[in-house]
Each structure stands twice: as structure tokens, then as C-alpha cells.
Amino acid sequence: MVKIEIQTKKGMETQMRKKSVITLCFVVAIAVILNIVAFYGFNLAGFSYGGMFDEEKGIRKGIDIAGGSVITFQANTDAPTEDQMKSVESIFQTRMTNAGYTEARISQGENGKITVEIPSVTNTDEAAELLGNTAKLTFNDADGNIVLDGATDIKDASYEYGPIDQNGPSIPHVKVEFNTEAQQKFAEATKNAAARSGENKNFIAIQMDGENISTPSVSQEINSASCVISGSFTPETAEMLASQIKSGQLPFDLTVISKETVGAELGPEALKMSLIAAAIGILLIMLFMVIMYRIPGLIADISLAIYVGLIGLAMGVFHVNLSLSGIAGIVLSIGMAVDADCIIFERMKEELRIGKTIKASVSSGFDKAFSAILDSNVTTIISCVVLYISGIGAVTGFATTLGIGVVLSMFTAIVITKFLLKQLVGIGIENRSLFYSTKAKKGGAEE
């Protein structure tokens, strides 16, 4: 009977080892696939992604790497006030951020001039339209009366791609959200418009700076907190319109007095060399972790590979504007990811030194390291939020990449590394020298 129980226990342990080995191999495969998708993209069953460096769907390069447009505007008013100029600067910054150009540089000149440097944009006419449009949005009835004013009645606007009715095709459109008072006014206006179907005046004209952008017909009262603006939009023009509505109206008209396309200050080789340096640095870090922490170091390397793939995917999917300051943010976040693993492993080493088993050391080490990792990462994230809100240009780009990197490094350290170490324990490695060169204190092992 005892012999059967021992054999059963051994059989269960063997199955656990096999399961842990298979799981570790599966995670390694995921890490490899994730990096391939992040940096080289994929094309599968109609779904495609061009990778982090795809010209259309990948990262946006900063003006110091890819060049861009420099546009100077002149205020069409006599002696604009300092507050008005600050308002224009703020609206410009919002429009650039909404369009994904977080590292656009905006500076005021003398006599109502304001200059904007936009990275990766070579179409100066398109950039000038995005920035210089007064963005006065109105909803008018058939008689031309203003029903809603975008400056006071619109709460938010966002670009969306999808069907605007139940059986319709997916098209680019803009979703506009009203405040409470505007919702009531819109309901009244659509009720009146629906009653004029016999006069062919059952419509609401949506205008931007006096020009019709959409004229939807109305068949019944619409009492809703939002509406959809559709028309002959491309994804780019719909996104631009949403950005203009969301950022608000300019206090006065602007005239473009100069626009030019500038070349990269550092050139494409700067990005290439930075990426090569980053790859070499990551490989050296991986080598250091294996030498310093042995088997746990190898686990940290797998976790770091997953982190690199995740941050590459995030940079591409969210079209992050990447310049040298943004690269600096990524490098710093990689350092924080490795630092979290080092804290965990040092706590595990302390547990091994007092005689605990490997399994108990893994569990206790994570528990003791968690608060230190959480505190350092949360304070860094708060700093990134402050920099993003109060900063401009390169500061915003640095805060963006560092913030994304820190969030992902927390995930890989707290979730991935812990999961992998538990699988390693499941394999049943008992040789403590494969973990650390430590000697247990007398007093036995703790499970």
C-alpha cells in the first residue's frame, strides 16, 4: 500500500514537471512570436499589421530624426493680447497631441506670430489646415438658424470607424457628445425639422466655419446625448475634424505667412544607430542577469524579451511619436524593468540564506519585493503624468514612452516573472547552486 502511494506521488510529480516544461517552452515561443509581430508585423486571414516601423501604421518619427514641416501663422487682429496668444498656443498643442504629434514644437514670435514645427509631416498644406482652421462648429436648421454652438454645447468629439446604423457599412465618422442643455435643444430642433418633411426642409446642417460638412435628414425627434457626423470622410479627414472640434475654437482668424519642409537634424542613421545600441545593451543586460542570478536570471531574460515585444507593439499600435528623447524614455523603462527583477531575486536570495526551500523563497521573495516595486513604479508613473500634462515637445515624448514602458515593466515583473518562476519550481529543481551561490543557515528548510 505504501509502495503504491509512493509510485502515485512520483507519477504526479513527473506529470507536474512535464506540464511546467511545456508551459515554459510555450511562453518562450510566445516571446519570440510577439517580437516578430511587434517589429516585423504579420498578415493573416485578412488581418495585417506592418510592424513598429511601418510608415502608415507604425511609430511616428520625431522632427530631429525624420524632418517635418515648419509653419508660421500671423494673427488677423490688431495687437492680440498675451492671453489670446496663449490660448492659440494651447489649442495648437491640443490639436497636435490629438493627431498623435506629441513632440510638435510651438513658439510665439513678435507682433502676433506663432511658429509650429511638426515632425514627419511633409504636406504643409494639410498641416496648415489642421492648425489654422478656426474650427467654429454649428448645427443649423433649414432656415440657417444656429441650433447648437460647438463652443458651448459640445462636450467631446472622437473619430470612429464602423457602421452608423444597424445594417450599414463601416465608414469613417465623427461622434459628437452634447452637454445636458444641448441635448434638450437638439431634441427640440430635430422635432421641428421632422415636422417639415413636406417642405423638404427636414434636415439639420452641420457646418464648420460656415461650410457644410454634413446635412443629415431628420425623420423623427432625436433625444440623445450624442450624434454622428458622416460624409465624404477619409479616416484622416474624420480624425482631423474630431481633433478640431475637441480642441475648441481659435480666438481669431490666422493667416499662414510661411511654410516649409525641413530635413532631419540627425538623419535616419541616428535612429538606426540608437536601435543597434539598444539591442546591444539589452543583450548585455541579459548576459549579466544570467551570470549574476543564474537560472532566475534566465527567467528574467525571457520576461525582458516579452517586455521588449510588448513595448514595440504598444509604440506601433498607438503611433507614438519617437525621437531621441522618446528613445531615452524607453531605455530608462528597460532599466526599471530589470531593476524590479533584481529586487525580487535579491529578496529570494535572502530567503535562501536563512534556510528556506526554493519554493518558499520564491513565494516569500515576491511578497517582500512587491511593495518596493509598486512604490517606485507608481511614483514614476505620477511623474510621467505631470510631465505629459505640463510639458511640451521633447518633454511630452519622453513622458509618453517612459510611462508606457513603466506600466509594461510592472506587468512583466509582477505577473510574467512570477508566473515563470512558479513553473521553474514545478520542474522540481533542488540544486540551490543553480539559483545562487548561497549557504543555508542551520535550522532546516522551510516549506
Q: What is the CATH number of the domain that holds 404?
A: 1.20.1640.10
Kindly give, in sequence order, each residue whose CB lies less than 8 Å from that of residue 156, ignoring residues fewer than 6 positions away. Answer: 176, 177, 246
Mean pLDDT for the chain overall = 81
In a domain, 57, yes or no: no
Band (381; pLDDT cuts 50, 70, 90): very high
- Residue 321 shares a structural domain with residue 430: yes
> How many folded domains does the chain comprise?
2
Burial of 440 (0-12, 13-18, 19+ CB in 10 A): middle
Residue 446 has pLDDT above 50, yes or no: no
- Residue 312 shares a structural domain with residue 392: yes
Which residue has better confidence, 382 or 279? 382
H-state helical runs in 354-417: 358-390, 394-411
Residue 132 has pLDDT above 80, yes or no: no
- Residue 314 shares a structural domain with residue 414: yes
Beta bridge partners of 212: 207
What percent of the chain stands above pLDDT 70?
86
Residue 298 has pLDDT above 60, yes or no: yes
In a domain, 58, yes or no: no
For CA atoms 384, 386, 388, 391, the dihedral sign is negative
Domain final residue pick, 213, 237, 262 = 262
Band (413; pLDDT cuts 50, 70, 90): confident
Domain assignment of residue 176, given as a range: 63-262
- Residue 38 shares a structural domain with residue 87: no
Mean pLDDT value across residues 88-103: 74
Of 232-236, 247-251, 264-268, 341-345, where does mean pLDDT reach its minimum?
A: 264-268
Q: Grid coordinates in use for 50?
A: 506592418
Band (32; pLDDT cuts 50, 70, 90): very high
Residue 348 has pLDDT above 50, yes or no: yes
Mean pLDDT value across residues 58-64: 75
pLDDT of 33: 92
In a domain, 439, yes or no: no
Which residue has better confidence, 420 or 434? 420
Domain final residue pick, 201, 233, 262 = 262
CA pair distance 327, 418, nearest whole angstrom: 28
- Residue 34 shares a structural domain with residue 112: no
pLDDT of 121: 74
Q: Grid coordinates in use for 83?
A: 492671453
Residue 217 has pLDDT above 60, yes or no: yes
Q: Grid coordinates in use for 440?
A: 543555508
Of 36-45, 396-405, 409-418, where does mean pLDDT reach its minimum?
A: 36-45
In a domain, 444, yes or no: no
Q: Which residue has the cell 421632422?
A: 194
In a domain, 55, yes or no: no
In a domain, 178, yes or no: yes
In a domain, 440, yes or no: no
Domain final residue pick, 215, 237, 262 = 262
pLDDT in tens, 304-329: 999 999 999 988 888 787 777 888 88
Q: Which residue has the cell 523563497?
A: 361
pLDDT of 157: 83
- Residue 155 shares a structural domain with residue 169: yes
In a domain, 302, yes or no: yes
Band (103; pLDDT cuts 50, 70, 90): low
- Residue 67 shares a structural domain with residue 182: yes
Mean pLDDT value across residues 5-15: 62
Band (29; pLDDT cuts 50, 70, 90): very high
- Residue 177 shares a structural domain with residue 207: yes
CA pair distance 401, 399, nearest whole angstrom: 6
- Residue 105 shares a structural domain with residue 253: yes
- Residue 122 shares a structural domain with residue 150: yes
CA pair distance 5, 1, nearest whole angstrom: 6
Mean pLDDT value across residues 99-114: 77
- Residue 325 shares a structural domain with residue 179: no
Q: What is the CATH number of the domain that holds 114?
A: 3.30.1360.200
Kindly give, in sequence order, each residue whose CB lies less than 8 Å from that of residue 160, ignoring residues fewer than 6 positions away. Answer: 172, 173, 174, 175
- Residue 78 shares a structural domain with residue 26: no
